[in-house]
Amino acid sequence: MGTETLKAFDVQRVRADFPILRRQVHGRPLVYLDNAATTQKPRVVLDALSRYYTDQNANVHRGVHHLSEIATAAYDGARTKVRRFFNAASDREIIFTRNATESINLVAQAYARPKLQAGDEVLISAMEHHSNIVPWQMACAERGAHLRVAPIDDRGELLLDEFERLLSERTRLVAITHMSNALGTVNPVAEIVRLAHGRNVPVLLDGSQAAYHMPVDVQALGADFYVATGHKLYGPTGIGVLYGRESLLEGMPPFLGGGDMIASVTFEKSTWNELPYKFEAGTPHIEGAIGLGTAIDYMQSVGLDEMAAHEQQLLAYGTTLLEAIPGVRMIGTARRKASILSFVMEGIHPHDIGTIVDREGVAIRTGHHCAQPVMERFGIPATARASLAMYNTREELDALGVALRKVVEVFG
């Protein structure tokens, strides 16, 4: 596929770019509806990974020989692509990590922990992934601070008035998901940032889900930190992104020590490299960054707005389809949501649902989705979750519907 934006969304043309979608599972065409866990990869990303190892493989920032210069240019070029994708002000504000989880931990340990004192508070929401709960628990426990949780309603929407009430003179950081992985809720993050900044409280936004469903402009949102993960952005696993406001990153100590994050080392003292390298100790995931940059090129060639519109149409179609199946109850019905169809079926455990639909070639996720507090909020142990991406079709949702009706027959 070229770099031009498609005039109209051609899902079959997109599907042709993803080799794995041509395979079969249990003798049936694969219907892949587990995109909230990880997306599949287009051929251009696979080719970029292969090309790095067959034509470019060398360490970066450490050599003056030809291959090292090529690899360094590709790696640094990927950072520029990420910066433009999120509209950060500078490449210095883009840190490569292993995943969004490491990005959150970096902020928790290098920014929050040194600042937290006994009685201070970190404010999150009741719809967070474990990755945006546990790091703050750890930092708070060490420093004698408290974790506060803004509640959600029965639709899975953040109670914004309660969030505002919980903001106080003791709040030192707000950490909120942009889009819930368990419910699909898209939070009013610009308003959240506005409210927090009104009390001089910095905000971290977890964009693990949102970043591959909608355009994200960190400057327009006003985010102080924004995290994302490459394997959901149609890129490789093991590569993540931390955007941080440059003034904040400058004041933070390194998260990890080692090669490339230093300016000088003696046995008595070390000094740190400039941004962004201060936070990238050791040999980085070079091919991962290159693959992520290629994935971003691909997404932009398809068109982010076109992708989002296609997925919203699928979400509406899938919601209507699932609600018509006997015994199905949707979990997460926020008025603003994206690409997540979480549900339970009366009297049937989600794991049984997942096993039966898998036999029909349909891949969905079942369990608590690393969001156990969300399950507790709705009084359920788990859900079945179908999650959508740009390459999914109405026909695939129809296949899910047929498979779920077989579940009803088996347990009827």
Look at residue 194 and give its three-state secondary structure.
helix
Tell me the C-alpha distance between 168 and 172, whole Å: 9
Residues 232 and 130 in one domain: yes
pLDDT at 62: 77
Q: Does residue 2 lie within any of the structural domains?
A: no
Domain coverage including residue 365: 11-41+303-411
Among 235, 269, 300, the domain-final residue is: 300
Residues 139 and 30 in one domain: no
Q: Does residue 5 lie within any of the structural domains?
A: no
Tell me the C-alpha distance between 167 and 162, whole Å: 9
Residues 116 and 212 in one domain: yes
Residues 200 and 144 in one domain: yes
Residues 266 and 328 in one domain: no
pLDDT at 16: 98
Residues 332 and 183 in one domain: no
Residues 86 and 224 in one domain: yes
Among 268, 300, 332, the domain-final residue is: 300
> Which is catalytic among the residues 370, 375, 380, 408?
370
Residues 212 and 257 in one domain: yes
Domain count for the chain: 2
Q: Which domain CATH number covers 324?
A: 3.90.1150.10
Residues 62 and 131 in one domain: yes
**In angstroms, what is the C-alpha Rg of the chain?**
22
Among 300, 319, 338, the domain-final residue is: 300
The verdict on whether 140 is a catalytic residue reads no
User: What's the token pair of residue 110?
Assistant: 């290098």
Q: Which domain CATH number covers 235?
A: 3.40.640.10
DSSP letter, residue 273: P
Residues 52 and 20 in one domain: no
Give tens-digit pLDDT for 72-91: 999 999 999 999 999 999 99
State the pTM of this model. Answer: 0.95
Say if CB 153 and CB 128 are below 8 A apart: no
Give tens-digit pLDDT for 140-149: 999 999 999 9
Tell me the C-alpha distance between 21 and 42, whole Å: 10
pLDDT higher than threshold 70 for residue 34: yes
User: What's the token pair of residue 223?
Assistant: 């985010």
Residues 128 and 150 in one domain: yes
